[in-house]
Amino acid sequence: MKIIRTTEGLQAYRKTLDDSVGFVPTMGALHAGHCALIEAAKARHQHVVVSIFVNPKQFNQAKDLECYPRTESDDQQLLETLGISALFLPSVTALYCEDDHYVVDELLLSQDRCGAARAGHFRGVLTVVLKLLNLVQANAAYFGEKDYQQFELIQGMASALFLNTRIESVPTVREADGLAMSSRNRRLTKAQRMLAAKLYPCLRNSESDDAARSSLSHAGFSVDYVTSAKGRRFGAVRVGAASDEIRLIDNVRIKI
């Protein structure tokens, strides 16, 4: 596995590869969900590039950025065992120069659900993903369905801006009790972890969005939203004290 830390190094490395390249962008703290993305890319491409970059532009709360888990050494060891071709580990200044005032925005889908609750979040996501897609020039990039709104926005951006990279989704990977795999799960206390497991069944088993919202509130969550669209029910909740809240999201397929 080649480790690359500069944009120039990544661009030079890309020139050595053929046209069979898959890309998996991550923020690290890797888990089985990331492994599923990598395995999907490996099944379809000769070369797989993974990036780890905790993007400060997509955090709307300084505390959330500060507390986001960082496990670079463990992540590198895991990626070695998975047999990827290259790991891109850029610094913040590698992707954002001092006079970088350019952003990518979307004016419709990004305004609801997580976009309504996290001002500027998707602007940060789309901006960094466009940078990474332009650098890697992969045939396809892989994203998990847990962050389904993010997947829709990135897929829409790739289409609207005529990018050559296909945007592919991979089904959500879950813990044995149904909790969607997430790097933020590492921050949950034992009691919060037990509560978090109730998110999935409340979304899946409730007869309506209102019923799901009521069940989540009764269980002890602070509910950001529950809403359905395009055959899926989406939910976002918070656990923990206001000074150290952990936000969890999930979505399930429903019959319409």
Q: Contact 237/199 with Cβ under 8 angstroms? A: yes
Q: Please list, residue by residue across 171-207, b when 16 or more beta carbons sit within 10 angstroms of its beta carbon and e when fewer do.
A: ebbbbeebbbbbbbbebbeeeebebbbbbbebbeebe
CA-CA distance, 157 to 105, in Å (whole number)? Answer: 9
Burial-class residue 102 by CB neighbours within 10 Å (0-12, 13-18, 19+).
Answer: exposed
Q: Are 147 and 249 in contact (CB under 8 A)?
A: yes
Neighbours of 119 (CB within 10 A): 9
Nearest CA-CA partner of 149 in 113, 203, 123, 202: 113
Cα–Cα distance between 35 and 50 in angstroms, integer?
A: 11
Cα angle 135, 181, 43; round to 5: 50
Inter-CA distances, 209 with 212, 221, 236, 252, Å: 5, 15, 12, 12
How buried is residue 135: exposed, middle or buried, by Cβ count under 10 Å (0-12/13-18/19+)? buried
Rounded to whole angstroms, the Cα distance separating 204 from 253 reads 8
Catalytic residue numbers read 34
